[in-house]
Amino acid sequence: MPINPLLNFTSTQTGTNKTLTLEEKKTYKDPLNSRTISALTYSSEIGATINEIAPKLTFAFWVPSFMYLGADIYDKYKNDKNEYSPSSKRAVKESIRQALTFFILPSAATIIGQKMTSPIGKLISEKISINARDAIYRHTNNAINQATNEDFSSKENFQSFINNSLKNHIKELENTRKKDNIFKKAYRYLIGYFALTDTDNGKIQTFSNKNADRLFEIKEKLENGISDRNIPKRIVKKYKADLANAKALYGYDKTGNAIKNALQNYQKHLIVKNKILKTLGGLASCLMFTEPIGYLVNKILMPQYITPGINLINETFKDSNLLKIHVKKFSDTEARKSIFSNAKGKCQNIIYSRSLHHHQKPQNPQDPEHKLHPDT
């Protein structure tokens, strides 16, 4: 006969007086809580940290986390450990816990880490933050498209063009800051949108001039075929290919697109290097706050605030449903009473009208009852 593992039993060992007590209790193991599977949840944190370097790749890292989140919420909704017991309340609690532990708070920690990393740039020679550098690189990258042949004619002209364009951009940022509501200001502050308005104009001018001079030097070297180990090879290769295409069409770089593309690619190269510093800061912050976030959610937020809140809402809905049931029963009872009362009233009216009609009926002299009473 097979032995039920849930039952306790004793067995005596042959040849000894020693009795062994064996207890086999079936313990619950969450199938989605293994290290291999739960590691999928951390892919969203990786996505958040690399967002500065590869925004499009970020989405790919969020997909496994959302898949795990959906599977875990459905499992907690359907099963109460080893028992099949669907519960929407349990599913809501799990979705909130997962969202806080693996999405909202880690992303916030990453953004804070990136924000805190930005001031490190002030320790370097240019004395401006990483966010301010990034803003200058980005604006210069966009401005290059609008540069004319005259702007590229000399280093002074190119520097003046970039600086004038940057000043107009800073004025636009100041106007935007005045018009923004408090929520937009808070969000843009976190992402470093107003880094240029928060930086000294003299330091911005110095850094922008240095960057513009470096771009003009790269232009001169590319056009004259002078090699420079500080210029990435892929940029040089791309420039030569664009120049060859332009010469095939016009005989020379008529539109200046080849050199413009090369300078823009160099600015993007600097932007990526700048982002790597912010990414490392965000990653360090995320790793540092992983354990505190787990403790905060599982030991404080869930038991002290979220679970009681969900229970309160659940009880409120139950009371509301009970009230609706009572109101419905009362309404049904009153409706039946009204129908019965109306029917009773109609019956009484019919009886009364018939009775009244009988008493008012004219007597016939031929009626036998009339003959019995001739005096009437």
With tokens 């086999």, the residue in question is 24
Give CA torsion, residues 106, 109, 110, 112, to 10 deg.
Answer: 160
Residues 6+ apart with CB under 8 A from 290: 45, 106
pLDDT at 335: 60
pLDDT at 314: 78
With tokens 């816990």, the residue in question is 97
Closest to 144 in 3D by CA, of 271, 240, 266: 266
Closest to 112 in 3D by CA, of 242, 300, 281: 281
In the Cβ-directed half-sphere of 265, how many Cα atoms lie within 13 Å?
18
Q: What is residue 11's three-state secondary structure?
A: strand
Backbone angles phi, psi at 147, to 5 degrees: -70, 140
Residues 85 and 79: beta-carbon distance below 8 Å: yes
Cα 135 to Cα 192: distance, rounded to the nearest angstrom: 9
pLDDT digits (tens, 9 = 90+) for 19-74: 434 444 455 566 566 556 656 666 777 777 677 667 778 888 888 878 888 888 88
Residues 6+ apart with CB under 8 A from 376: 370
Closest to 151 in 3D by CA, of 252, 260, 245, 228: 260
Residues 6+ apart with CB under 8 A from 151: 157, 158, 161
pLDDT at 296: 94
Q: What is residue 54's three-state secondary structure?
A: coil
pLDDT digits (tens, 9 = 90+) for 311-364: 888 788 776 666 566 566 656 565 666 666 666 566 666 666 666 655 555 555
Residues 216 and 223: beta-carbon distance below 8 Å: no
pLDDT at 139: 95
Cα 307 to Cα 56: distance, rounded to the nearest angstrom: 36
Q: Give one DSSP letter per residue of 212-260, joined into a string.
A: HHHHHHHHHHHHHT---TTS-HHHHHHHHHHHHHHHHHHSS-SS-HHHH
Cα 178 to Cα 180: distance, rounded to the nearest angstrom: 6
Residues of the chain whose pLDDT is less than 50? Answer: 1-25, 367, 369-376
Backbone angles phi, psi at 125, to 5 degrees: -55, -35
User: What's the whole-model pTM score?
Assistant: 0.63
pLDDT at 278: 82
pLDDT at 3: 43
Q: Where are the domains of the chain?
A: 127-280
| Size of the chain in residues | 376
The residue ranges of DSSP E strands in 6-127, in sequence order, are 9-12, 19-22, 79-80, 83-84
Q: What is residue 13's three-state secondary structure?
A: coil
Cα 206 to Cα 196: distance, rounded to the nearest angstrom: 13
pLDDT at 219: 93
Backbone angles phi, psi at 83, to 5 degrees: -110, 140
Cα 347 to Cα 300: distance, rounded to the nearest angstrom: 69
CA distances from 308 to 296, 297, 348 (A): 16, 14, 59
Structure tokens at 43: 């892919």
Cα 337 to Cα 323: distance, rounded to the nearest angstrom: 21
Q: How many CB atoms lie within 10 A of CB 256?
A: 18
Residues 6+ apart with CB under 8 A from 123: none
